[in-house]
Structure 1
């Protein structure tokens, strides 16, 4: 192979401008990613770069973030416990009239849920509407009558 020495050394010593620009861009991408506590994904980082005046393609941002292992946190899907009308709805006998003349005429109850690291706990007190005293209560690991 006939090649001049200068051609060989020119190719060997040539600086890769694209790689240098990618390194500079990756530093800015990491800064944006860390300032936002790792919540920003490719789309939001791309928009932030556009807002800062960088003219860069979203596919380039995606490739650089993927190569650097920068993955945005996904938000958890919210839990919805509503299942429609389940069970029997009690008749509204009291009709928002909580006044009584003597104790033990009207009682009310409700269920409160407490979340702990080991699970959930349910408290169901029975209250006298005249004296506001707790007549009885039930503490259980499930919100049913068992």
Structure 2
């Protein structure tokens, strides 16, 4: 929306504001409110640039590893009152990113020689009576210390009641 207001402001010497707002389908009152807030926007952008410089400093001290949560904590330790959402927004705006070390865990590797499983339900997940159609899923839940759980769910398509089976896997995640 700001670009339309900027267009009106850029061309207000050539055309009437009323006509420009009609053509761009913008309320005049909204344009004048935007115009009144120009100083506040400029001040906020200036403060954002100052904070971005502080964020770059902390980010550089970490070797480029820290993301927004850790940078927020570091800034707070230095006595700067700052909101984590603002730090995240400024990092996005100024393209400052941390290192992501977590790798995706592949729990299953499909065999390319096998044929795909047929869709026996044909994407119809409704049942006329209980006990006629069941569906299920298995998911992997990581735990502290490298252990993990498998969570198996079974759903009756008629009542959508869920029964869960959890089995603890003692092997470590690699």
TM class by shorter chain equals 0.3 to 0.5
Higher helix share: 2
Larger Rg: 1
The two structures have a TM-score, normalised by structure 1, of: 0.42
Give the number of the structure with larger relative contact order, counting CA–CA contacts within 8 Å between residues 6 or more apart.
1
Q: Give the TM-score of the pair, scaled to structure 2.
A: 0.36
